[in-house]
Structure 1
Amino acid sequence: MAHLLLLSNNASTGAEVLPALELLLHENRCLPANTEALSQIGDAEAVILDARTELIAARALAQTIHSTVNLPLLLVIGEGGLGVLNSAWHASDFILPTAVPGELEARIRLILSAAPEVVVQENTSGLTIDELSYTARIDRRMLDLTYKEFELLKYLSQFPGRVFTREQLLHEVWGYDYYGGTRTVDVHVRRLRAKLGTDHEQLIGTVRNVGYRFYTEV
């Protein structure tokens, strides 16, 4: 039996969000879907987030859950929302509200038994990224990054040498529901280079007429 925390602004019980949940033996609490609820995690082993509506707010909260409590996250999302799911949500898995008890039990079991995520990245460039504390260092110097700057640097460094178009980076880091233009990517890359400093700014290389890539050595 697992201890689950269900976050929803549209229901007061788990049965209203995910009827199959009430047919399982797990203990679950239902709290409002906001950041204040994260201070009441208690003994929860996983978080179930109601993402059936208010997708933008749900994605923001999912990212906060990942960066602050780092518990397995199961999204409850309708079929209409599946098109906006991507790695920026940091969800362990998702499930439709109409799922039967057997499927829900299997998904809960899988996210609880999954191997812990590697949260510290290090490479020969001198860059160290700690996903748990949302911090980044270059040659042991702490970088003062905004949330999106951190996410962009982390994403690029996960795929050294791979070239990404601005559109790809916009979708993967900002999400498909972001309506700003690709100029946003250029602005954040420029800020990242400034914060990396003159000795390391070339870690993020420009591929003319295409986009950007991350180099492990400069």
Structure 2
Amino acid sequence: MVRALDLAGYPWKAVGSPAEPDVVAPDGGWAGAVIAADGDLEGALAACRALRHRELPLSPLLLLVGAGHLPALDPADDLFDDFCVVPFDPPELELRLAHLLRRAGQGGRPELVEYGSLVLNLETYQAAIAGRPLDLTYMEYELLKFLATHPGKVFTREALLSQVWGYEYYGGARTVDVHVRRLRAKLGEEHAALISTVRSVGYRFGQTRWAAGWPGCGGTARAGRSRAR
């Protein structure tokens, strides 16, 4: 849950009782709460009840439950707004939060760059592939971000040095090769081909329409603030 919230760019704070959110709340207050109920359903529902009935009700409330708790949930219960069964896929949790926040008129998701299963959070400098967080250095992140925002385009090593490292950087083309090799290793064998080598030219991220077969297209990169989540 913590990784999913971090990668989605949501600020959060862990609390142990319904009274604590007010103590640690940021200036603008909390947009909602995720209640872990997989261990103690009755205690979690009691926490939801307390949050609902306080002077400033906290909404929306998302309940995390175990599959064995489903028969005990009442579909007419207004103590929570939605639930998610654990263990969950991070994209499912993000989507449910996005839906709840949009419905409640709360803030949207952070600025993201997405290509297939790759997601880069431009606000928190975090990245994940197929839900798995990537441990990237600053320059590895900057290089991956630049490539992912220009899918299908081929860049020479000199162009990448200029665009990513800057005109003042005097390192050689080997710098680019080293960073690409490290990125491929961190992406993993299954996703390393996202960055392909174009012989005698440079590197390309993703597929071109020609590579995938005209008129089809390999993947779609999306950047910017999308639907609230």
TM range (shorter): 0.3 to 0.5
TM-score (norm 1): 0.45
TM-score (norm 2): 0.43
Q: Which has the higher contact order (CA 8 A, sep 6+)?
A: 2
Larger Rg: 2
